[in-house]
A = this chain, B = another copy of it.
C-alpha cells in the first residue's frame, strides 16, 4: 500500500465487501486485495466502524461487513471517516503577531473552507453503489470479450 493511497485502497476493500454481502471478510483477505498487512487494514478502517460504514465481528467466522447498503454510503463519509484532509496545505501560524501572515492565513482559510465544502458536496453524491456498478460494467465487458474469443 503506497503512501497517500488510503482512500483508494479503502474503496477497493469496500467494493469487495459490497460484492460479498453474505459473509464477513477477514482482515487477512482484505489485506490480500491491496497487498498489505492485516494490521494495516484494521488500523485503516477502524474509523469506518465508528462511523457505522462497516461492522466487525471477532472469532470464528468473524471479519468485516458493510454497515448499510452501498447506495447509502457516500465517498464523503468514507473520506471523513478515514480522517483524510481533502486539501493538503497547512495554514498554521508560525509567526503569531505578524500581520502579513495573518492576512495570508485569513485568505487561505477562507478559500479552504469554501473548497472543502465544494469537494465534500461533490463526494457526497458518489456512493459505493456507483463504484460497484462501474466494476460490474467492466466485469461484464471482459466476460463478453472473452466469450467472443
Residue A16 at the chain B interface, CB threshold 8 Å: yes
Residue A2 at the chain B interface, CB threshold 8 Å: yes
- List the B side residues contacting A139 at CB < 8 Å: 99
Q: Are A104 and B4 in touch, CB under 8 angstroms?
A: no
Q: Are B5 and A89 in touch, CB under 8 angstroms?
A: yes
Number of copies: 2
Residue A24 at the chain B interface, CB threshold 8 Å: no
Q: Are A94 and B4 in touch, CB under 8 angstroms?
A: no
- List the B side residues contacting A84 at CB < 8 Å: 88-89
Q: Are B104 and A131 in touch, CB under 8 angstroms?
A: yes
Q: Are B7 and A108 in touch, CB under 8 angstroms?
A: yes
The segment out of A38-46, A48-56, A65-73, A122-130 that lies at the interface is A122-130
Q: Are A122 and B131 in touch, CB under 8 angstroms?
A: no
Among the listed B104, B122, B135, which residue makes an inter-chain contact with A114, where contact means beta carbons less than 8 Å apart? B122
Min CB distance A30 to B, Å, is 12
Q: Are B3 and A138 in touch, CB under 8 angstroms?
A: no
Residue A80 at the chain B interface, CB threshold 8 Å: no
Among the listed B1, B11, B33, which residue makes an inter-chain contact with A108, where contact means beta carbons less than 8 Å apart? B11
Among the listed B6, B33, B115, B131, which residue makes an inter-chain contact with A107, where contact means beta carbons less than 8 Å apart? B131
Known A-B contacts A2-B92, A7-B89; A12 and B107 likewise in contact (beta carbons under 8 Å): no
Q: Would you list 19 pairs from A and B whose C-beta atoms are within 8 A, ordered by A residue?
A: A2-B90, A4-B90, A5-B94, A6-B89, A7-B89, A8-B89, A8-B90, A15-B100, A16-B100, A33-B98, A34-B94, A34-B95, A35-B95, A99-B138, A99-B142, A103-B134, A107-B130, A107-B134, A115-B119
